[in-house]
Structure 1
């Protein structure tokens, strides 16, 4: 332990807790008490953390997502009734720089997260259901395997050595089987869950969105159906951001958002621009107005995610003509 926490009278003052999560340990800071400590990132460490927090009037716990290492403490604290906010690491880093903190250590990050909680009051983030977290892990594994396959295929194309080409073909064959097994498991888990199966049916009813894109949206954009049109486009990173100053109206660009859904939407937009009647006409109109191909595709991506959000909100399938 890096510090000794003195007992506090419950309700004496609100305490904001920042937790920097690593694979093996949790760095914890209590603001405004100024106390810090380090605990193991395991069930015993989380149990000790809960006993510590029970001695204080905790207003908010703030942490960053760290692969899957934050899940245990997030789920355990949320189930115990503490409000836990999971914030974007970039947002936390920019906040620290605004405060003049350029150093980056685990203890400093924990302190900045605690101060961020007190200053910005980020909204509590409920943990995702375990079934959805496992599905997300499978979807990410398939995406990683697909990227690896693309890299191997490129190496095979460039290779001129017979032995190396044979080895690469062997690796590609094994990777193809691996990807196929992951795809079957993803499909099985979605089919076995009535709620997820319904979401997949709604998403795949949209021309341009297939089972692979639908699985990415289900796993990585579980908020779809609960957002307004602007929020869902921003979350996917396809909302054009203003860049104006005085009388100057700068060009709009997309920025931020979730990378994997955005990549999936790009492939869906390529298909929708050809096979979705409404979006194909929309894409052609933009191109006829001298919009660049990627600008027009980005607009189609935005239309797709807004349409998906609307259909999930209304719990209905896509139809060519809606009443």
Structure 2
């Protein structure tokens, strides 16, 4: 008998469901009690498939993790391309739920590792920090076109307020890492790696819980740092990276700027690529990927890795 798969299309108010192999359709409120009641009707190995929809999947993830129920969060772009590949052009909540269920039945989707409560809290604080940073950036741009001294003073006050809140969040994030034994142990391993500052460290710990559990190729692909081939017949196009977790990729890209100057093995790698005429951005992406491989090995083996 094939494994049961439940496709879930999420909105803030409701969850549309499509059950396979039965093909039944359902809708439940997007609340913890309704989700828990649903899980009580499912087989223990039934795979729940839904898109990584920020802001709508928090309750679902939390209840699934509490019940140790297997689930997969898929990239929305992957789901849309799967729909087109199977001839599904319409897009409604029920159609999307059916597409997700069929993805789970046809593809070998990896089961998502649920975040621990400590990592969930860390991820939430990181998201709020990013929001405040974006708000501060916008206010700094507004300052140049204020026009009036009073408006400029108000903007400056808002910038200072946002800066104070960001500082407070940084302290709270550091405290969350110190309080959790697993996060603290991993942080101690990574703190001495050149290029891994407090913000990059928190991003890796909060947004990439798979560190140390995957091989070098899979972890690079998860972070969106694995180059994908573009070939057809005798034509060979330039390889490109795409997909993955953008915030993790951005953090590693920033870390690569410093690591390429301070870690000898990465400095040598940078120089070799320069001699081959590689573009600066291509070099930094390659260094970011190699830095991630080093970090992944450190977490997997729970020991510092020689980077000279």
The TM-score with structure 1 as length reference comes to 0.88
Cα offset for 1:235? 1.4
Matched residues in 1 for 2:36 and 2:307: separation? 54
Say which SS state the counterpart of residue 136 (structure 2) adopts.
Answer: helix
1:39 is matched with 28
1:25 is matched with 14
Cα distance 1:204–1:46, how it changes in 2: closer, same or farther (>3 A)? same
Which whole-Å deviations, capped at 9, do the CAs of 1:11-34 have from their partners, x for residues lacking one?
8x7532111121111111112323
Cα offset for 1:286? 2.0
Which whole-Å deviations, capped at 9, do the CAs of 1:178-206 have from their partners, x for residues lacking one?
10011000000001112111211222211
1:76 is matched with 63
Which whole-Å deviations, capped at 9, do the CAs of 1:141-198 have from their partners, x for residues lacking one?
1122112212222222344432221111011000001100110000000011121112
Say which SS state the counterpart of residue 101 (structure 1) adopts.
Answer: coil
RMSD: 2.1
Asked whether the equivalents of residues 205 and 318 of structure 1 are also in contact (C-alpha less than 8 Å), the reply is no
1:279 is matched with 266
Asked whether the equivalents of residues 46 and 73 of structure 1 are also in contact (C-alpha less than 8 Å), the reply is yes
Cα distance 1:320–1:20, how it changes in 2: closer, same or farther (>3 A)? closer
Q: What aligned pairs does 1:1-323 form with structure 2 within 5 A after superposition?
A: 14-53=3-42, 59-80=46-67, 82-319=69-306, 321=308
Structure with bigger gyration radius:
1
Which whole-Å deviations, capped at 9, do the CAs of 1:116-137 have from their partners, x for residues lacking one?
2222242322421121111011
Asked whether the equivalents of residues 17 and 58 of structure 1 are also in contact (C-alpha less than 8 Å), the reply is no
Say which SS state the counterpart of residue 251 (structure 1) adopts.
Answer: strand
Cα distance 1:228–1:192, how it changes in 2: closer, same or farther (>3 A)? same
Asked whether the equivalents of residues 228 and 241 of structure 2 are also in contact (C-alpha less than 8 Å), the reply is yes
Matched residues in 2 for 1:225 and 1:58: separation? 25
Matched residues in 2 for 1:259 and 1:307: separation? 19
Asked whether the equivalents of residues 243 and 249 of structure 1 are also in contact (C-alpha less than 8 Å), the reply is yes
Say which SS state the counterpart of residue 227 (structure 1) adopts.
Answer: coil
Which whole-Å deviations, capped at 9, do the CAs of 1:193-235 have from their partners, x for residues lacking one?
1211121122221111111101101111111111211112111
Cα offset for 1:58? 6.2
Cα distance 1:155–1:249, how it changes in 2: closer, same or farther (>3 A)? same
Asked whether the equivalents of residues 3 and 105 of structure 2 are also in contact (C-alpha less than 8 Å), the reply is no
Asked whether the equivalents of residues 78 and 126 of structure 1 are also in contact (C-alpha less than 8 Å), the reply is no
Instruction: For structure 1, list consecutive stretches of 5 or more residues without a partner in the other structure.
Output: 1-10
Matched residues in 1 for 2:33 and 2:182: separation? 34
Cα offset for 1:318? 4.6
Instruction: For structure 2, list consecutive stretches of 5 or more residues without a partner in the other structure.
Output: none
